[in-house]
A and B are shown apart, each in its own frame.
Chain A
């Protein structure tokens, strides 16, 4: 008994008091900023492993970016990654960062479906589906519910059965071999339901884009409610994204 108390004492208070404003330690590659400086754009566009960078005007698509930071190392005056972890949005276009732009990426409450605030504003249960995910986003989704990030304090939890869920969270580029399971799982979730894509692989296919083993046709059929970028997405990006989607008032 005493030893238990000692462990609890040493554990102390671990939770992050304010996951919406806390600063992440060390270096972190969050939302990038592109300056208006002139550089060799062809070289910059060429170097990106996932074709996330395009020119005229120069922009980075965070839905494709693997956050490897190679562009910022080669062109430090042109591109820098800020420590801003809030990067989730319901608008796919918002993930495209343009030259000279330094604005927060946010959920646009005007385009969030009406029932989402009303039905999921205080409690959200999600069913996660790994569809070719490499277990990195899966680890970070698990971390979002550890004693430090403690997402369940907001009533947001992951559940085992799609029947108990309010929506699905997809990680991975969606493989051919998982396509049927994704559909069955989605169909089993009662209406109204949401679709959340976590990680670059899920949003665009990432580095797996173009592989014949991938089948992303599921995403052509249904609207996506939230894009959470990252490779993998940081737990704070995940938590803030889900809070923004379900609670942010216009």
Chain B
């Protein structure tokens, strides 16, 4: 087979990535994923090389803990057979390649724009003139929602086609949040600027994205970080998961008009984010993670403080959960609402909670572990029904699991390594891929450097990139009034998708 197997966070020379002709490149990558539920595509993107585009495809194997990387060079504007026709999970990656480089896939199931980037290949396509999918019938009506939504959330457009109250089809149009993050990674040359950018990819996943960036950077510079840094990152990742999951439980209660749950879960999130502020000065952990260094060491005093925070939080959290999961009026809204089948989750390449809700075990913490996760021997929490209830249950249990992990870590706070200014230079002509399990799911950052050791290409994939399709499938045949809880139970990122 014409690919190279690497581990998570491993750097290799670009020329070590085998190159094949397009058709064998396609057959190989499609063959790698079809029929194997423990393999999926973590990233597939193009890099501009003059009049050519180098396509790089990365398939992760959860069983062997390896990532299979292969490449192919094609001419710009060329027409190609699509991967998506064989395996649907490539569809958004191919749409992105089409949008950025003008490569055509005549047999792609639906080659619509992804995010209307400022440097797209076809400037004639605009958000204003996009033809939405329609169904010609007197029986159906359309409902358009957004880009600005009722609450304080990010923008995106949802176009529903309904028969009465029932949703037949939902088309999700994104791109409103596009800020050109990937290009800014190249344009801004200072490391601190790039670190800041990584924190601003999605402000609800600050730790997830900044850890992924730090891993890429350290690996490309050949730097190994000390245990205390890995410790801080693991704790921060789990705290972020707890804070957002509890906040989501609050928001889900709001969406079913359950006031008590909404206010109790809402206030239970606060001690966690306030602890992050006590630790690093920001409630959302901005400024906490830095490549190669640890600006805010996790001291034994902080450990004592965090133990107290968790001890106070746990009984109230459990009490509220027990109440919520005992409430017939809440359960009737959760159960069998917004179902995604296991087959569909596999077909669209769902990751994170959106995979685990249908017994599909996808969790980078166990399949491609990093930081201190190998020691924690993480076992993913799985549910089987793929409905709102499964997603809510996963959150409930993951909060407790994170709490358990943090407590385990706190029993042995590592001694701080001396803070030395490390010289960090990128290795030339290299490629690195980093996978991190954010609270939403798998985050993938890839970087390529040129002959001078300068960043040449930076590619970010938020888990939402896969999972927006899961939401579109989940709402089919549901009442439109259930859309808010379906949406909230996924809580996908707009900015992480639009970049």
> In the complex, what residues of B have CB within 8 A of residue A130's CB?
152-155, 177
The range of chain B's interface size is 35 or more
For A175, list chain B residues within 8 Å (CB).
Answer: 176-179
Q: How far is the CA of A48 from the CA of B176 in the complex (A)?
A: 28
A181 touching B277 in the complex, CB below 8 Å, given contacts A68-B192, A207-B196? no
Contact assessment for B286 and A181 in the assembled complex, using a CB-CB cutoff below 8 Å: no
Contact of B319 with A by CB under 8 A:
yes
Q: Are B286 and A133 in contact, with the CB atoms below 8 A? A: no
Which of B147, B267, B280, B322 meets A146, CB within 8 Å? B267
B316 close to A (CB within 8 Å): yes
B180 at the interface (CB under 8 A from A): yes
Q: Mark B94-134, 1 if CB is under 8 A from A, else 0.
A: 00000000000000000000011111000000011000000
Please name all residues of chain A whose beta carbon is closer than 8 Å to the beta carbon of B484 when the two chains form the complex.
Answer: none
Q: Contact at A148–B267, with CB atoms within 8 Å?
A: yes
Nearest Cβ on chain B to A15's Cβ, whole angstroms: 10
In the complex the two chains form, is B203's CB within 8 Å of A176's CB? no
Number of interface residues of A (CB under 8 A): 68
Q: Which A residues are CB-close (under 8 A) to B179?
A: 132, 172-173, 175, 208, 211, 213-214
Asked if B264 is at the interface (CB within 8 A of a chain A CB), the reply is yes
Cβ < 8 Å to B, chain A residues 164-212: 172-173, 175-178, 180-181, 185, 201, 206-208, 210-212
In the assembled complex, B200 has its CB within 8 A of some CB on chain A = yes
Q: A136 to B273: give the CA distance in the assembly, Å.
A: 12
Residues B175-197 near A (CB distance < 8 A):
175-181, 183-184, 187-188, 190, 192-193, 195-197
A207 touches B193 (CB 8 A): yes
In whole angstroms, how far apart are the Cα atoms of A232 and B202 in the complex?
12
B295 part of interface (Cβ distance < 8 Å): yes
Q: Are A177 and B266 in contact (CB under 8 A)?
A: no
Determine which of B176, B197, B274, B282 lies in contact with A178 in the assembled complex, contact meaning CB atoms within 8 Å.
B176
Complex Cα spacing A134 to B284, Å: 12
Residue of B155, B177, B180, B200 with highest tally of chain A CB at under 10 A: B200
Judge whether B154 and A185 touch: CB under 8 Å: no
A177 touches B116 (CB 8 A): yes
Q: How far is the CA of A178 from the CA of B116 in the complex (A)?
A: 11
Asked whether B204 lies within 8 Å of A136 as measured between CB atoms, the reply is yes
User: Which of A22-30, A101-109, A110-118, A241-249 contacts its partner?
Assistant: A22-30
A184–B193 Cα distance when bound, in Å, is: 33
What is the bound-complex CA distance between A77 and B323, given in angstroms? 52
User: A81 → chain B, closest Cβ, in Å?
Assistant: 8
Whole-angstrom distance between the alpha carbons of A88 and B478 in the complex? 44
The 5 A-B residue pairs whose C-beta atoms are closest, nearest first, are A136-B203, A26-B278, A134-B203, A213-B180, A160-B150
